[in-house]
Structure 1
Amino acid sequence: MNEILSIGHGRPYPLGATPGKGGVNFSLFSAHAEKVELCLFDAVEGGKETRIELPECTNHVWHGFIHGIGPGQLYGYRVHGPYEPEKGHRFNPNKLLLDPYARAIGRPLKEWDSCLFGYEIGDPGEDLSFDTRDSASHAPLGMVIDPAFDWEGDTPPETPWHRTIIYELHVKGFTEKLTHLPEHLRGTYAGLASDEAMDYLKNLGVSAVELLPVHHHLDDSFLQERGLTNYWGYNTLSYFAFEPTYASVQDPHDAMREFKGMVKRLHREGIEVILDVVYNHTAETSERGPTLSFRGIDNASYYRLSQEHPRYYEDFTGCGNTLTMENPTGLRLLMDSLRYWVTEMHVDGFRFDLASALARELYGWNKLSSFFDAISQDPILSQVKLIAEPWDIGMGGYQVGNFPTGWAEWNGRYRDEVRRCWKGNDRANELSKRLCGSADLYNHSGRGPHASINFITAHDGFCLRDLVSYNEKHNEANKEDSRDGANDNESWNCGHEGETDDLGIQTLRLRQAKNLMATLLLSQGVPMILAGDERWHTQQGNNNAYCQDNDISWLPWDLSSTGKEMLEFTKELIRLRQELPVLSRKNFLTGQAPEEGKPKDVIWWNPEGREMSDHDWESGFTRCFGMWLPGESLQELGRNGQQRVSDSVFILSNAHFEDLAFKMPQADASPWHLQLATTPIKFDKRQRKTPTLTMPSRSLAVFISKRVSG
């Protein structure tokens, strides 16, 4: 370590380690601390520790300017204060702590050790005891970072919501098996930015990638004991530092540039970057968890503690703790982190894991919470894409449809009702609401169809192939006797589980998968595709592959014939959605005419050749129906200010287990043309305007009537 020239008072803001002229400003919030020591470490493994007491405290912010050091410096903190767990305080200066605002991890936690816990494990008093061992040999360290990067005029794509198609992927799993890449680039930020990955995403046609967590996370000790890892990454320790294991290089500065280069390349190709973020809990878990950062810096300010027994945490996440947004400290951390990722890392939006937990105040979930207010008034964050997972595990936590204006939501009701319909377990009257954008959920708050993030599958649960192939989860590889993961599947009438040589069963499974994918991409709202579903990827029945950093999760690139068929089918659906404005409208479909003399914006069609009646919707035969979208009903302006026009589209669905005769409506322009089907359909090649056809069981077809110019 260079000789420290002098120590100045520095500035309280910005929080974290900020390089300046001749040194670095360090700033740490702790409302209940009595003393804060900055700990500087030599870059060498096991290097010397130099402790410096921060000389100034301004409004609970401890700060100092250290001359003679700069970017690349490793550091941590020791925070002195009361160790009174029963009052919510868990200060222990024997534990080296990671700066919550550290921009990079200079040394990750390599292995779990009992010295990382603030109490003596095995003591009869459990977490009330006090552990005096020094944790510096095992604790993670932050690194002072120089953020300089040449963005080369990078600008965000700013894809309108109604033109957005989201592709949810894992940075590592997406390219880990891409053998065309050099081995050291597979599964990395650079791998995602490679020509091969870019060509795939562009040819597929998606407009945004939603990355599973890239904040620095820890592998749970119980997973390490089983020889597993926290592959998904929903175990965050730092909300500013990127996950270093996804970089192809070890130096944190080079790794940061690699991440920024990935974002820049995606933007250059017109693809937005949305981060899945986990601000609801941290890797420190319950009161029996380790003391690594927040707990030792100011436990009572960062976490939601039980009002009756502050020793314990309020847990709305199932992970042992919940960050508090009631205290300005937690809210400021979240806001500062979000702004950092937008302004410094150039990301385009966020998907908030268990977002309901962030909006909980004293008496539960609150639509008028400080969390929502802070984001809605922020000039930066209010302009990016904000997506909520609108539930947590606490009472009253399921809030689908209740988030405020400016937010989109994972629409769990869409997922459930589409699945039920194609299983043949439900009538279509509920499905029709989902196909039209779910106005019943979102219109009351002044939002449009884009508030509904439509999905059939996501990282959490069965992937698409397994959804139609397995009746029960098979999570044996997780080593929890398959007790983990939701029991969220039922028989799809596709035969026995797993692989089979029965061509009929395999054909039916593929058809059902196509039905679901087609429904997703033909619905109003914003579709989200789980990476791998378009390639017929299987997780072997594992519906909770959070700890499977292996072939169960990694996506295949050498596709089977079925995988190629599914991929081409998905590409065609995306192409149709992009080319036909009537499939991605800015406003909800209402079943009403937009103005006098215009047709209804959606017409529901009965197999007998007439418009559906209320009686039809309530009858048992609404598993087969048509959704007619007249192109001339479109009354919207495109991004360039010109009126959007579209061909008419007729979507015919038969979720029944038998083939059914169907009489189509009179085409409003040119004769109907069969554009796409999930199984071969006998259709009159002469393209009569009112053809009658036999619609195969469990199938979907798309017909187009070309707009007549003039």
Structure 2
Amino acid sequence: MTASPAVEVLPGSPTPLGAHWDGTGTNFALWSAGAHAVDLCLFDPDGAEHRHPLTESTHQVWHGRVTGIGPGQRYGYRVHGSYDPPTGHRYNPAKLLLDPYARAVDGGLQLHPSLFGHPADAVDGSVPDERDSAPHVPRGVVVHDTFPWDGDRAPRTSWSDTVIYEVHVKGATMRHPDVPAQLRGTYAGLAHPAFIEHLRSLGVTAVELLPVHHFVSEPHLLRRGLTNYWGYNTLGFFAPHAAYSASGSGGGQVTEFKTMVKALHAAGIEVILDVVYNHTAEGDQTGPTLSFKGIDNGGYYRLDPQNPARYTDYTGCGNTLDVRRPTVLALLMDSLRYWVTEMHVDGFRFDLASALARSMHDVDRLSAFFDVVHQDPVVSRVKLIAEPWDVGPGGYQVGNFPPPWTEWNGKYRDTVRDVWSGAHVGVRDLAYRLTGSSDLYRSDGRRPFASINFVTAHDGFTMADLVAYEHKRNEANGEDNRDGENHNRNWNSGVEGPTDDPEITALRARQVRNLLATLLLSTGVPMLTAGDELGRTQRGNNNAYCQDNELSWLDWTQVDEDLRAFVAHVLALRRSAPVLRQEAFFEGHELPGTGGTRDLAWFAPGGGQLTTADWFDTGLQTVGMYLDGRGIRHRDALGRPVVDDCYLVWLHAGPEPVTVQLPDAPWADGYELVVSTEYATGAPPGTAIVAPGPVELPGRCVWVLKVLRRP
């Protein structure tokens, strides 16, 4: 620390929290209920630190305004108070702390003993560590909010028309030959025309970005020479992750992020953020002191009521933010509103959302978090997606989140994987999943689009690996292959790992098409994992969270062009067929004037509709789903009834060919085969007209037949 220059700290204002430049100076405001004193630490370009005590405190907010301080200024805080872990207090002014409301962050986290609140040999944590952490931790940056948003229009794609593409900002373009080298792996790279055109050509309507809130790597990874790649280790809830910026970390990342959003919007693509509000990067009682832990440990975290020196951990990451507290709830809502109003994002996917809904211990549908989100005039109007589970007791809550929430449908994933891996589970559960999961979402008034359907995600096997491996290959993570899911509901097609056997290779390719066709033809909102349409492999690693390398990045030099064409073909069909994008649940009722057809009917291979015995036959591996486009129960924006063609979809998961009966009138006078997974691109050669009656389905295939009627 150098001598403090003659800077006058004026009283300033306790609101808003954070650092806000007004054109001539910057107001700094930090909440801490138990602090005895707070120092504002300003850093020169050469790193020299100047400390300025904040002498004003209003309603537990320490504040001051510094004239002449503006955008680009690096800053942090040192908070004085009691250091007494058994009572939950961990104040330690030797630790430089990041402002929880910082809108930009500069500098990385360097593994050093000074990061920790107590020395490593103080096992009980009773002795504070007095080494200065400032040289080894990130700092906040004062930013300029002005941005030329003129002309930006949010696509506001309806849920029923939405197709989500889950993607990692860095991994998307690090190996893309058409993106300039200096832009690869950045927000600017994601906004490059070469990548946006890929999304458009597929038919994607929204990107769901893996965490872009500023994060740091866990000490245990740094010790192994690895880093956190996925980003589920948030430190700054307002700041775009600086390492994803081609503009540097002096605040340019904010402008670059906004430019990316504007470019995606111009292409008709929404931006959804995967957000981690359930825990922070500070970990458990042995973790580093970087921000919240040193500002007000008991005010931000859920402490173990039996031993406040420890944390209640519903997340598996060492700590849980205490959303029951008004200040923490305000932090989350301020962050969400900021990303919508200032950064123009279109929605959020909440990691381990059940942890946010816990009142005392149980997950509570009436928790304050739900109430505040539901009534918020900004946040309630964007897309809200829950990962409806955490690691605590009773945390698996698929189907139990209230309106207007949508959910990652884990039951959809499990059922579809079971069916195509050859498990004898019958078709009863599959029928629910194909038609929007009414068993999960109908009772509380939600619609089919409450179900975010997915087969793979960032966490787990890629689609290509799902059909090539039965056992995980996570040795590169340095955890002796103990990490990652062991029960993946998958089948390796007969050989473990890579093979040159053409029959196995062909089978695996068809199985990938079967999984993707099922996903993209199901009612609900499909979510593709980036790279699944390219044939991406992680060589059997099903937990690549710490693999920031070519194992995780999309490989644009090894693209399965047929598979990419297949996905585009099926999505084009989905886009053209409202009956595949139903906004209301099917009724299964007969439709007047159709001669006895139903809006939804299920056919057995023999041609008759499924019987009660069929529904409970776990050996049944073939089912026909008839969707009548004359029975759609919603209207367009002008109030006109929506009417579509009719389709018959056959799913046959058995290994051998099977003869099925295509129903005759009144169901159809004939059929046109428009999708078949036996073909590499899904499109049958020429026009494939099929008459009612017996037809042979190849082993393990999906057929989509468009119904033909005589004039």
User: TM-score with structure 2 length normalisation?
Assistant: 0.96
Match of residue 337 from structure 1:
335
- In 1, Cα distance between the equivalents of 2:75 and 2:669? 71
Deviation at 1:623, TM superposition (A): 0.9
Contact 2:141/2:251 (<8 A) preserved: no
Q: Which one of 41, 45, 48 corresponds to residue 43 of structure 2?
A: 41
Task: Please name the residue that 2:115 is paired with.
Answer: 116
CA distance in 2, matches of 1:78, 1:22: 25
How far residue 152 of structure 1 moved from its aligned partner, in angstroms, is 2.1
**Letter paired with 1:32:** G
Once residues 9 and 224 of structure 2 are traced to their aligned partners in structure 1, the CA distance between those partners, rounded to angstroms, is 47
Task: Flag the 1:336–1:528 CA change in 2: closer, same or farther, 3 A.
Answer: same
Q: Distance in 1 between matches of 2:138 and 2:196?
A: 34
Amino acid at match of 1:632: R
Question: Does structure 1 retain, via aligned residues, the 8 Å contact 2:466–2:492?
Answer: no
Q: What is the deviation of 1:688?
A: 4.8
> Any residues of structure 2 matched to 1:16-35 within 5 Å, and which?
16-35=18-37
Determine helix, strand or coil for the equivalent of 2:304. Answer: coil
CA distance in 1, matches of 2:116, 2:690: 75
Q: In structure 2, what is the Cα distance between the partners aligned to 1:289 and 1:243?
A: 21
Distance 1:684 1:139, change over 3 A: closer
Shift of 1:619: 2.5
Q: Which residue identity does 1:172 align to in structure 2?
A: K
- Which stretch has the larger CA shift, 206-215 or 219-228? 219-228
Cα 1:115/1:102, change in 2 over 3 Å = same
Could you tell me which residue of structure 2 aligns to residue 511 of structure 1?
510
Contact 2:413 2:454 (C-alpha < 8 Å) held by counterparts? yes
1:634 aligned partner, one-letter code: I
- Output aligned runs, 1:245-394, within 5 Å: 245-394=243-392
Question: For 1:672, what is the secondary structure of its paired residue?
Answer: strand
Give the Å deviation of 1:690. Answer: 0.9
Q: Distance in 2 between matches of 1:595 and 1:74?
A: 70
Letter in 1 for 2:460: G
> Are the equivalent residues in 1 in contact too, given 2:647–2:704 (CA < 8 A)?
yes
Q: How far 1:595 moved relative to its partner?
A: 6.1
Partner SS for 1:298: helix
For 1:199, what is the secondary structure of its paired residue?
Answer: helix
**Displacement, 1:424?**
2.2
Superposition deviation, residue 245 in structure 1: 0.7
Q: Which residue of 2 aligns with 1:522?
A: 521
Between stretches 127-136 and 321-330, larger displacement belongs to 127-136
Question: Does the 8 A contact of 1:511 with 1:679 survive in 2?
Answer: yes
Shift of 1:68: 2.0
Matches within 5 A, 1:253-652: 253-425=251-423, 426-490=425-489, 492=491, 494-560=493-559, 563-593=560-590, 599-652=597-650
The one-letter amino acid of 1:30's match is S
After TM superposition, give the deviation of residue 108 of structure 1 in Å: 2.8
Partner-residue secondary structure (3-state), 2:471: coil
Shift in Å at residue 360 of structure 1?
A: 0.6
What is residue 93 of structure 1 aligned with on the other side? 93
Query: 2:467, 2:225 → 1: CA distance?
Result: 30
C-alpha contact (below 8 Å) 2:216/2:281 kept by paired residues: yes
Distance 2:85 2:696 in 1: 71
For 2:452, the aligned partner's letter is I
Please say if residues 646 and 707 of structure 1, whose CA atoms lie closer than 8 Å, have aligned partners that are also in contact.
no
Deviation of 1:411 after TM superposition, in Å, equals 0.3
Quick one: distance in 1 between partners of 2:709 and 2:456?
A: 34
CA–CA distance in structure 1, aligned partners of residues 54 and 686 of structure 2? 82
Name the SS of the counterpart of 1:252 in structure 2. coil
Alpha-carbon contact 1:657-1:698 (below 8 Å) kept: yes
Rounded Cα–Cα distance in structure 2 between residues aligned with 1:3 and 1:175: 45
Alpha-carbon separation, structure 1, partners of 2:77 and 2:338: 22
Q: Secondary structure of the equivalent of 1:533?
A: coil
Q: Structure 1, residues 360-384: CA drift from partner, whole Å, max 9, x if none?
A: 1114210000000000000000000
SS at match of 2:309: coil
Structure 1 residues 639 and 475, CA gap change in structure 2 (3 angstroms):
farther
Letter in 2 for 1:566: L
User: After superposition, where does 1:5-154 map in structure 2 within 5 Å?
Assistant: 5-44=7-46, 46-47=47-48, 49-109=49-109, 111-123=110-122, 125-154=123-152
**Partner letter of residue 696 of structure 1?**
P
Give 5+ residue unaligned stretches, structure 1.
Answer: none
| Change beyond 3 A, Cα 1:19–1:4 | farther
How far apart in 2 are the matches of 1:254 and 1:310? Answer: 40
User: For 2:662 and 2:220, how far apart are their aligned partners in 1?
Assistant: 59
Name the CA distance, whole Å, in 2 between partners of 1:686 and 1:402.
44
Residue 12 to residue 593, structure 1, CA distance change in 2 (3 Å):
farther
Whole-Å separation in 2 of the counterparts to 1:416 and 1:497: 21
Is the alpha carbon distance of 1:684 and 1:339 closer, same or farther for their aligned partners in structure 2, counting shifts above 3 Å?
Answer: closer
Give CA deviations for 1:150-208 in whole Å, capped at 9, x if unaligned. 11221210000000000000001111110122111111111110110111110010100
Which residue type is aligned with residue 592 of structure 1?
A: H
Q: Any unmatched runs of 5+ in structure 2?
A: none
2:673–2:688 Cα contact (<8 Å) kept = no
Distance 1:687 1:137 in 2: 71
Structural RMSD (CA): 1.9
Equivalent in 686, 702, 705 of residue 703 of structure 1 = 705
The answer to which of 588-597 and 112-121 deviates more is: 588-597
Q: What is the deviation of 1:310?
A: 0.9
What letter matches 1:478 in structure 2?
Answer: N
Matched-pair contact (CA < 8 Å) for 1:8–1:55: no
State the alpha-carbon separation in 1 of the partners of residues 476 and 710 from structure 2: 57
Measure, in 1, the Cα distance between the counterparts of 2:220 and 2:638.
54
- Label 1:78 to 1:591 Cα distance change in 2 as closer, same or farther (>3 A): same
The question of whether the paired residues in 1 share the 8 Å contact of 2:659 and 2:697 is answered with yes
User: Could you tell me how far apart the structure 2 residues matched to 1:234 and 1:690 are?
Assistant: 53
Secondary structure (helix, strand or coil) at the match of 2:125 reads: helix
In the alignment, the residues of structure 2 paired with residue 4 and residue 158 of structure 1 have an alpha-carbon distance, to the nearest angstrom, of: 51
Native 8 Å contact 2:470 2:492 kept in 1: no
Aligned mates of 2:6, 2:142 — CA distance in 1: 15
SS state at 1:274 partner: strand
For residues 137 and 114 of structure 2, the distance between their equivalents in structure 1, rounded to whole angstroms, comes to: 9
1:439 maps to amino acid? S
Structure 2 CA distance for aligned equivalents of residues 618 and 512 of structure 1: 25
How far apart are residue 457 of structure 1 and its match? Answer: 0.2
Contact 2:105–2:249 (Cα < 8 Å) also in 1: no
Q: How far did 1:147 drift?
A: 1.1
> Shift in Å at residue 492 of structure 1?
2.0
How many residue pairs end up in the alignment? 703
Amino acid in structure 2 at the alignment position of 1:703: L
Separation in 1 of the partners of 2:289 and 2:281?
10
1:647–1:707 contact (8 Å) kept in structure 2: no
The answer to whether the 8 Å contact 2:466/2:490 transfers is no
**1:87 to 1:707, Cα distance in 2 relative to 1, 3 A:** farther
Per the alignment, do residues 708 and 331 of structure 1 end up closer, same or farther by CA in structure 2, a change over 3 Å counting?
A: farther
CA distance in 1, matches of 2:709, 2:78: 70
Judged with a 3 Å threshold, the aligned counterparts in structure 2 of structure 1 residues 305 and 632 are, in CA distance, closer, same or farther, namely same
How far apart, CA to CA, are the structure 2 residues paired with 1:163 and 1:538?
A: 29
Q: Kindly provide the CA deviation profile for residues 396-423 of structure 1, in whole angstroms up to 9, marking residues without a partner as x.
A: 0000000000000000000001111112
SS at match of 2:505: helix
Shift of 1:671: 2.2
Say whether the 8 Å CA contact 2:469–2:492 is kept in structure 1: no
Deviation at 1:3, TM superposition (A): 5.8
Contact 1:28/1:61 (<8 A) preserved: yes
Residue 34 of structure 1 and its aligned partner are, at CA, apart by: 1.2
- Residue identity opposite 1:698 in structure 2: R
Distance in 2 (CA, whole Å) between partners of 1:302 and 1:405 is 27
Question: Equivalent residue of 2:443, what SS?
Answer: helix
